[in-house]
Structure 1
Amino acid sequence: MLKTERKAEQKVIEFQEVLDQTDTVLIGAGAGLSTAAGFAYGGEPFRRYFADFDEKYGFHDMYSGGFYPFPTLEEHWAYWSRFVFLNRYCDPPKPVYKNLLELVKDKDYFVLTTNVDHCFQKAGFDKHRLFYTQGDYGLWQCSKPCHNKTYDNGDIIRQMVEAQGFQVTGQGMELPTGTVSKMAVPTELVPHCPKCGAPMAMNLRADHTFVQDEGWYIAAGRYDDFVRRHKNTPVLYLELGVGMNTPGIIKYNFWRQVYQNPKANYICINKGQSYAPREIANRSICLDMDAAQVLIG
């Protein structure tokens, strides 16, 4: 075994020891965790489900397509319904989230996440212990917005996908052999605000129009209460797959809380972006690894 491999293996053992010895865990999860679970915006999944959009418009991954100014709402929702169905209503290929739950289910845990794919709840995490700060692919809001309410989109998303020729299966969607996918949904499926009639939009934090509905504020309150109750108690701050896109929500926040609480420990698992400031280095374990390597092996 190479020296670097031995060092990584030892850190995984240290991670497990700290986790076993701690009754309270605050999980901070970013996009890297879902990537580790097998969700990918590019590559084979994109080519399989979005080849027609790639050929017509020239973008090569799902993320880029989400910003494309499609000429009609029918085409906009054709793209977004495929995107949402795959990334919100299908389970990730790898059991990263389920294995994480097995590690913390008997502990006093809470999850703070910037992910919008609902993977925590799909894996069985208690919804009352989750705070999705940036929205949810499963929710719509008024695009203006004229009011602070969100709406579940699951049923209509499935109808949109099927209207394009796809067959919805238990774990995904398939285009029957010989079928050419449609790149527009029927006009009657295009969602509009029930109050003002404006087009609906995804409930994602992209600009000042993001709706923080009642559920958002309730979850924020639960998170604040968890932090308050454990302000001076032993807490493991477990950061998973968090990059530098919005570091103030999780990464810098966790560093500050660990620094202020001498009984707290910090563990960061993220391939290529695993580090801790020197002020808390003696209470930190940084694993430069894909979360799947740690949670699946």
Structure 2
Amino acid sequence: MLFKNTTTREDGKAKKNRWLRNAIETADAVLIGAGAGLSASAGMTYSGERFERLFPDFIRAYHFPDMYSAGFYPYDTPEEHWGYWSRYIYHNRYEEHDRKLYETLLELVGHKDYFVITTNVDHQFQLSGFDKKRLFYTQGDYGLWQCSKPCCSKTWDNEAAVRRMAAEQKNRRVPSALLPHCPVCGAPMTMNLRCDNTFVQDEGWYAAHSRYEGFIRQHKNARLLLLELGVGSNTPVIIKYPFWQMTAENPRAAYACINLGEAACPQGMAKQSVCIDGDIGKVLSEVKNSRCTEAEVV
């Protein structure tokens, strides 16, 4: 049975915010798990007005409902495939965005021993000042390409190529001369995203995974705050279930879930937890400005 200690009363919300602020301040370490809801709260939405503004030509041609659907479409030519994907990568990885949400989060946890595991691939944590040695992008990175076969366990930065593709495309297509090919075997490049069993886990991926496991081992029995932000139910085995398990196994741990419409935890760990149903950016701003009273110490 899941526990949802959500409330619409302002005093209840304020108490939860103070609980979370105190949990951060009294923690030995903070483990952040971030999902798609965090990107959405920061304005990185993949449907609606933003999609319509950035991809009007693709919508007119194919009537796509959102960016994800358009990304999986079997385009007739590689020129049109990369016409879509270069624009997609540029706007979701390299274009400047308002990073106030991430900056607020870093202000809250930056003075702590923290680590971030995320299924997001938009690189916003590192772009916002988070230490790259404290980040584990489990599902890939929009900024990396890999061989489509793949012939090797390597990835390549794509920024220069993507910027040129986005600038020079016409009629939804990039020039044929700009199509990316693997430097090792010559096969077409593809995105380094975990979509199937061809996903390449390169040296950087394994190094980050090792640091993540080391962080967990170091703080297994410590006063650890597990802060889950915008993690849905699509891939719960990566963040949500492990966070629940770590909390249940450690009586000194605290668990906080902030998610619009999906804030819950198992009933058995309710006393160690707070679930806040709301916009992540707004909640974090309120938490930053809150002050805990002695009676609310975790």
TM-score by length of 1: 0.92
Which sits farther off after the overlay, 232-241 or 17-26?
17-26
3-state SS of paired residue (2:181): coil
Instruction: Provide the rounded CA distance (Å) in 1 between the counterparts of 2:77 and 2:26.
Output: 56
Maintained 8 Å contact 2:38/2:280 = yes
Paired residue for 2:229, among 223, 227, 240?
240
1:206 alignment partner, SS class: coil
Q: Give the aligned residue type for 1:223.
A: Y
Q: 1: distance between equivalents of 2:69 and 2:182?
A: 26
1:3-22 correspondence runs (5 A): 4-22=9-27
Contact 1:34 1:92 in 2 (8 A): no
- Aligned to 1:210, the other structure's residue is in SS state coil
Residue matched to 1:136: 141
Residue by residue over 1:154-213, the C-alpha shift from the partner in whole angstroms, topping out at 9 and shown as x without a partner, is 00000001102xxxxxxxxxxxxxxxx531001111001112211100000000000000
Query: Which residue does 1:23 correspond to in 2?
Result: 28
Aligned residues of 1:150 and 1:213 also touching (Cα < 8 A): yes
Structure 2: unaligned runs, 5 residues or longer:
1-6, 287-298
**Which amino acid in the other structure matches residue 31 of structure 1?**
A
1:88 — aligned with what? 93
Q: Could you tell me how far 1:280 is from its partner in structure 2?
A: 1.0
Structure 1 residue 202 corresponds to structure 2 residue 202: no
The residue number in structure 1 matching 2:109 is 104
Q: Which residue of structure 2 aligns with residue 296 of structure 1?
A: 285
How far does residue 127 in structure 1 lie from its aligned partner after superposition?
0.2
Residue of 276, 280, 291 corresponding to 2:265: 276
Q: Deviations over 1:222-245 (max 9, x none)?
A: 000000011111100000000001
* Structure-2 residue corresponding to 1:187: 176
Match for residue 285 of structure 1? Answer: 274
Q: Residue in 1 aligned with 2:49?
A: 44
- Alignment equivalent of 2:248, drawn from 249, 259, 269: 259
Partner SS state of residue 296, structure 1: helix
Q: Indicate the structure whose relative CO is greater, using CA pairs within 8 Å and at least 6 residues apart.
A: 2
Question: What amino acid does structure 1 have at the position aligned with 2:106?
Answer: L
Q: Aligned partner of 1:149: which letter? A: K
Measured in 1, the distance between the counterparts of 2:36 and 2:221 equals 29
Q: CA deviation at 1:94?
A: 4.8
Contact 1:30 1:113 in 2 (8 A): yes
Question: After TM superposition, which residue ranges in structure 1, 4 or more long, deviate above 4 angstroms?
Answer: none
Q: TM-score, normalised by structure 2?
A: 0.91
Cα deviation for residue 65 of structure 1 reads: 0.5
User: 5+ unaligned residues in a row in structure 1: which ranges?
Assistant: 165-180
Matches of 1:259 and 1:88, distance apart in 2: 36
Distance 1:215 1:288 in 2: 35
Give the aligned partner of residue 120 of structure 2: 115
Task: Give the distance between the partners of 2:8 and 2:159, measured in 1 at CA.
Answer: 49
Quote the residue 1:173 is aligned against. Answer: none
Tell me if structure 1 keeps the 8 A contact 2:122–2:141: yes
Quote the sequence identity (%).
Answer: 57
Provide the residue aligned with 1:221 in structure 2: 210
Contact kept? 1:95, 1:296, Cα under 8 Å: no
- Partner residue in 1 for 2:77: 72
Deviation at 1:17, TM superposition (A): 1.5
The answer for the alignment partner of 1:177 in structure 2 is none
Deviations 1:60-96 (A, max 9, x none): 2111111000111100001001100010112333511
d(CA) in 1 for partners of 2:263, 2:33 = 13
Q: Is the 8 A contact 1:46 1:61 kept in 2?
A: yes
Alpha-carbon distance in 2 for matches of 1:119, 1:3: 30
| Residue aligned with 2:146, SS | strand
SS in 1 for 2:31: strand
What is the aligned-residue RMSD (CA, Å)? 1.2
Asked if the contact 2:28–2:222 (Cα under 8 Å) also holds between the matched residues in 1, the reply is no
